[in-house]
Amino acid sequence: MDHGAPLVKFMGLTFNLSNILMITVVSAIVFLIAVISTRRLAMKPTGMQNFFEWVMDFVRNIINSNMAWKDGGRFHVLGITLLMYVFISNMIGLPFAITYDHTLWWKSPTADPVVTLTLAAMVVGLSHYYGVRVNGFKEYGKGFFKPMWFLFPLKIIEEFANTLTLGLRLYGNIFAGEILLTLLAGSLATGFAGTLVAVLPTLVWQGFSVFIGSIQAFIFCMLTMVYMSHKVSQDH
């Protein structure tokens, strides 16, 4: 628990090297999964291709539950990428954490609010971009004054609230899980008696963290499509 983050300053900005490392590792894993799953496509999918097609169908169902495919089909690749990226980010820090000289290097990137809020800001920003691109700036702007013009301030507050809740929900769940696992791992190192007491809760919490990480990836992808549908769907 007494570890810090590897921070460096460059051109007046502060960079967390641990976040950069883990973001790069997770991105590489997602890229490799996509390449391996699609390098030998077959009419009767097996193995990794079967898994990837299941992910594609899963995201397609998320989109269809929020908007018509003619509006949401353009977000299919975005949804697949976000689902896989957030899921792997949530999982990668569960088996272990790596510290060197009291500095934490290996962890779940989504256990850092900077990462999750950046993802949330990207999603909300994209929703506005596609809102203007699909409907035009005039129609997009009218959406902030519907159903009543005086709701405009609340609409602005809602956009900031969506960003905060989307990012902080993901961060809070993953960070809390890793903190508890760290405490349980500390109990395992206190001797034979501590190991006996802590080993079962550790295994149970590991399994529960996998479940929570999976649910949070699904929720992040689902809310992304909800926000997109509000901006591009003709039914909203």
DSSP string spanning 77-130? HHHHHHHHHHHHHHHTTSS--EEETTEEEES-GGGSHHHHHHHHHHHHHHHHHH
Global pTM value:
0.87
Say what the pLDDT of residue 98 is.
72
Query: Which of 159, 158, 152, 89 is CA-nearest to residue 121?
Result: 159
Amino acid at position 27, single letter? S
Judged by DSSP in three states, 16 sits in strand
Instruction: Report the first-to-last Cα separation within the chain, whole angstroms.
Output: 47
Got the DSSP string for 28-39? HHHHHHHHHHHS
* CB-based contacts of 77, cutoff 8 Å, min separation 6: none
User: Is 124:166 a contact under the CB 8 Å cutoff?
Assistant: yes
Question: Along the 236 residues of the chain, how does pLDDT read in single tens digits?
Answer: 556 677 788 888 888 888 899 999 999 999 999 998 888 777 777 778 888 999 999 999 999 999 988 888 999 999 999 999 999 999 998 776 677 777 777 888 998 899 999 999 999 999 999 999 988 888 888 888 887 878 888 989 989 999 999 999 999 888 887 777 666 666 555 555 556 556 677 777 777 888 888 999 999 999 999 999 988 876 55
Strands (DSSP E) contained in the chain are: 7-10, 13-16, 98-100, 103-106
Q: Using alpha carbons only, how large is the chain's radius of gyration in Å?
A: 21
Say what the pLDDT of residue 197 is.
59
Bond preceding residue 95 cis, omega within 30 of 0: no
Judged by DSSP in three states, 10 sits in strand
